[in-house]
Each structure stands twice: as structure tokens, then as C-alpha cells.
Amino acid sequence: MPEAVRFSLQNLTCAYSGKVVVRGVSLDIPASGVTAFIGPSGCGKSTILRCLNRMNDVVPGFSLSGRVLLDGEDLYGDSQDPVLIRRRVGMVFQRSNPFPTSIFNNVAYGLKLHFKLTRAELELEVEQALRAAALWDEVKDRLHTPAMRLSGGQQQRLCLARALAVKPEVMLFDEPASALDPVATAKVEELVMELGRQMTVVIVTHNLAQASRVADRTAFFLRGELIEFNRTVDLFTNPQRPETEAYLLGRVS
């Protein structure tokens, strides 16, 4: 049976101040598992990722043509609310960006914004989000201390907990482990794979080994164009396009 599609990109073209950085990308992202975007710097993969929850809307000079469908609905339709879209489609960025407040308040922020909860309900939801991000045991005794005192890896998992707290349907990761040490990177990768068993996950990574470890499917981009999209094991072991093979062998920068 054909896989359910979560996102459908149809002839997507993106530009910043008139300079085209993504050209005519058409791609169906399945509803299950982890999809990785790979390619050299400047190939457009992060721009495409940010189109999936309209984060590019806040970038001056950004323009888009084509369509981005989420469960068959046009994300850029006139009736769509970007705030609600970002609740459905959470995101963790390359550099952790905790708010300058307590660990608890970081996770509770979105919950207070979107839901009416009692204090007991709020505390339970914060705990569940921190557990989902594999952080609860490390911070449960210091929830009201500043988030900035956490290590880099812990801050990244806190940002993940903050995103998970509002019950997204999709999680996007933009180079989430690029600034982390190997131990923290391994924890993030474990979380990405675990989330992929529960929801749609899309990750941008420059680390080919990371893509091969965590992703069920991988899309390779080059100079703003989609070159190849396939099951990860097939793309890495039997690429169909010479450009993909060259990149995997380190011949494309």
C-alpha cells in the first residue's frame, strides 16, 4: 500500500530579495519515520525545511511560489494562521535558544499560550515534555533555576521539550547537533529516532553518517534543486544520480 503523505511540495521555488535559492522542488514527505535533507552548504535544504512551518515568513525579502501542502491543505493559503501552523509543526534550531527564564517556564511558555490549564495540569505537562526529551531526570530538582545554566546539550533538549509540550504533529530539526559533543549528539540522535516512531520528523544535517543512522529516507539537494530522494539505505549504497554519488564520495563541495 502507498505510504500516507504528510507534506507535499509542488514546484516549490524560493527567493531572498529576488535571488532564487530553491528551484522547482517537488517532493512528498511520508507521514511516518524520519526524513533527512542532505547537501552542501547553500543548497537550499534549510530554506525548504523552514517552508514547512512558515518560519521564512519572518525573513525580510523572502518570497515563495508553488505549493506546500500539509495533510492536503495549502500551508500558504489565505485562511492559514502561521502561529497555529507552528504549533502543529514544531522546530529545533541549529543553536539552542532557551528563553532567559527558568527551565520550568521555558517548557510552560507554549502551554500557557495555547491551553487553559490548572497549575497541577501545567506541572504534569511540563514533566511529560521533559521526559519525552530525556531531560527530566537531569533537571527535576532544579526546575526553577535559569535555563542558561544548563550545558549546551541540555539546552538543546530543553528546546525540544518546549516544542514537544504543545503536542506537535511534526518535528523539524535544523542541524540540531552541529554544536554538540559526541555524547550529547548521540542523545539527540536517539531522540530523533524515537520521535520518528511516533510522528513525522524532518532533519537537515551536513553529517552523512548521522543521516545514515537516523533517517528512513533521505533527500539530496544541490544548488537549490532536488537531485534524488529515496530510502536512506538505497540512496547511500546505490545512488541513482551521478551527482549523488559524487557528493557521497566527497567530490562535491
Q: What is the pLDDT of residues 196-251, one digit of tens each?
A: 999 999 999 999 999 999 999 999 999 999 999 999 999 999 999 999 999 999 88
Q: What percent of the chain has pLDDT over 90?
A: 84
Provide the mean pLDDT of the chain.
Answer: 93
Q: Per-residue pLDDT averaged across 160-176, rounded?
A: 94
User: How many C-beta neighbours within 10 Å does residue 71 have?
Assistant: 15
Q: Map out the domains of the chain as residue ranges.
A: 5-248
* 5-248 is classed CATH 3.40.640.10: no
What's residue 201's pLDDT?
A: 97
> Exposure pattern of 197-214 as b/e (b: 16+ CB <10 Å)?
eebbbbbbbebeebbbbb
Instruction: Answer yes or no: pTM beyond 0.95.
Output: no
- Asked if residue 253 has pLDDT above 60, the reply is no
- Alpha-carbon distance of 176 to 21, in angstroms, equals 22
* 108 Cβ contact list (under 8 Å, min separation 6): 122, 125, 126, 165
What's residue 2's pLDDT?
A: 64
